[in-house]
Structure 1
Amino acid sequence: MRHNRFVRLAVALLAPLLVAGVVVAQAGTAFADAGHHGHTLYVSASAKHWNSDRSCRSAAFKTIQSAVNAASAGGTVVVCPGTYHEQVVISEPLTLTGKHATIDETGVTPTFQVTLPGLGTQTIFAAVVMESSWINFTGFRVQHAQGEGIIAAGLNGPVSGIVISRNAVVHNDLGGGVPPKSTYFLCAAEGAVPGDCGEGVHFAGGVAYSTIRDNFIADNSGGVLLTDDVGPTHNNVVQGNVVTDNVADCGITVPGHNPNALNSSGVPQPSVAGVYRNAILGNVVTGNGVKGFGAGVLFATPTPGTASYDNLVQGNYIAGNGLAGVTMHAHGPASHEDLNGNVIVRNSIGKNNLLGDPLDGPPGPVTKPTGVLVFSGGTPVSVTIAHNHIFNNFFGIWLSTPVTAFGLRTNKFSHVIIPISAGH
């Protein structure tokens, strides 16, 4: 197992903050440059192909996809007021700006397909698919997809510089259930447990130095999902979003899915897989997972070889979620998993764990309201939990063995029966 990265609390707090600053700066610089290339195309339901295409009144494109296909790399597509029933696939650097525009996948048959290892050719049921770097997507309402509202993935190699901002991503991820309502492979049920169809916004792997910010993400089965299915997902920022009432799953989920994130000796393979050095900053995360055992923010390593490490959770308000406000699960027994180095700092964490956490090993369920919970089935886990205000819970911080936590005494507890419960 790797040595503990955070020997001192000061290092634990400072390093991820510097990373987050670099991510924001790089993303902003990239779009300052990218925005000067190409010209602007307009989309309107009343468009005519012979129009001059200089404004919404003279738009020449009736569908978003037709304008995206016609745009030059680095160009801009302005989508005028209206509802557009289509799946939108973005395969080159573009800025898409919605002007009271809705992308609604009701009645749409998705056509975008990918070939995935072990799964063959699969159709992606998301409303918006991003497979390029330097995409700026802002000002839309995205709704009624069977899978994700928005998915970004490095399907043809790593992508970066994606900014998803100031959108409403609502009522997506609708294909679950037992049996699933959709044939989308992500919606497949596991026994009596409904499948996760991808959640509102999903970075599915191979995504770095990108940003999900200032969005309203609600009434999907889950909110934001960062995974490493097709490659490492790292150095991204999830900031300033309202993630609420995604009742079947977590608000913000950061799990390692790829079993190749560690080699057979337990050494990280960051160029291959892993979810690491992502920053979750200043979000409002409420009312998630209250029907499906979801946390406010969840880090998890479900199987040997998976990794979710060195991530930062700072400055968020987290309350009213089905599992603990910030939950960490290392599900496997003593094996090669990496859930180390995550930092939970300066958050306001109210009453959470409303459903109780069933866990999957000793000491059994944690049924009382809990602010932060870190559980390991045997894999050593180190974490920093510092300078948070945790209130209105039975357990402020609940830790299993073998978990080592730094900064515990710096937290403030209000109306908490047992501030720190460790060594279970």
Structure 2
Amino acid sequence: MSELIQLTVSNRKEWPESGLDVAALRAEGWRQSPFDLFIVKIHERCNLACTYCYMYEMADQSWLGRPMVMANETIEVLARRISEHVDAHDLKVVYVVLHGGEPLLAGPDMIDHFVRTVRGAVEDRAEVRFKMQTNGLLLDERMLDMLLAHNVRVGVSLDGGMKENDRSRKYRNGRGSYSDVARAMELLGSERFRQSFSGFLCAIDLRNDPIECYEALAEFSPPAIDFMLPHGNWTTPPPRAESGSSPAPYADWMIRVYEYWRKNPQKPKVRFFQNIFRLLLGGPSTVEYIGLSPVRLVVIDTDGSLQQADSLKSTFPGAPETGLNVFEHSFDTALDHPAVIARQIGVSGLGATCQACTIRDVCGGGHYTHRYRSGSGFLNPSVYCADLMRLVTHIQQDMRRELLADGEASGA
């Protein structure tokens, strides 16, 4: 680990590094859940300069001290560590997400080598399911042929149509990226490659009309859309509407999409809403930003360092760092990190306000990153608490009305 990175490793006396009694948890019988989602930063740079990017535009600037591309030696050691973790926990399926920066900058040959190396290390004992999260700009026939051959699912980041997307997703010269992404989407959405497309990731911008944004994304017929609340916290709050008239502007935005989506069942599914449905019905969450299901992800950067969720870069310098790396440490060692444990202990990882909340088991305190407050760490409600309360309650009431209507229609 470079000197620059060492200086950014968190040494703060905030929860969970301070105040989480791991020994007591273990004495009560709690045990960690193994990692099954490995998010791998194969390239540290990006060909866009999105204004809200947590990696380049927010508190943590550790990318400056890391290799631009993951080296072959690091790939080989990482593959062995994943294999070791598979064997230690008898895992049958693991998920590997190619991430960045912009992962496509690594090029097709490097990506091909990475997938072959990781899959080859474990495929006789466990299935490896690969996904890539990309801005889509470098998708071409050669790249897509390689990804299709390896069954790598491709998620694309896009914030709506040209007007919506180009507010924030720009090149460094200020030019918008929508036109170039749309051309790449014509190829990804073609009959030849469509099976590789997993959906869109869309950052919510309150300046954008929610229905226009949703419709612009739906035009590409994505299998799913994942709306993302902008990364912010109590110390560095997220953007709010200029008027400031609503106490829950992000819920207002999402509810407009929800009402439209419910009236158009042929439209693409929205993961945020579907996970709220699942949680209201007593099921587990499939995403990290809502619910109390144990978070089983680990991030591996280009230098082989093991990190927590990289969205933590939006809170303070060094926030994602564990001080561990694939060359010297197993993934089981990372499981012992207090911040990893804090995201696996369910209700015990919530503050008093969240524990007493009526929607606790659905909201789950919201995204861990959004709970941060300087001085108290992550033992706080989400900075989006009012928004999550309004959104979850709205969907809960809608489900009740529908169940009552179904009961009356059946004569129950």
* Structure-2-length-normalised TM-score: 0.26
Higher relative contact order (CA 8 A, sep 6+): 2
Q: Which has the higher strand share?
A: 1
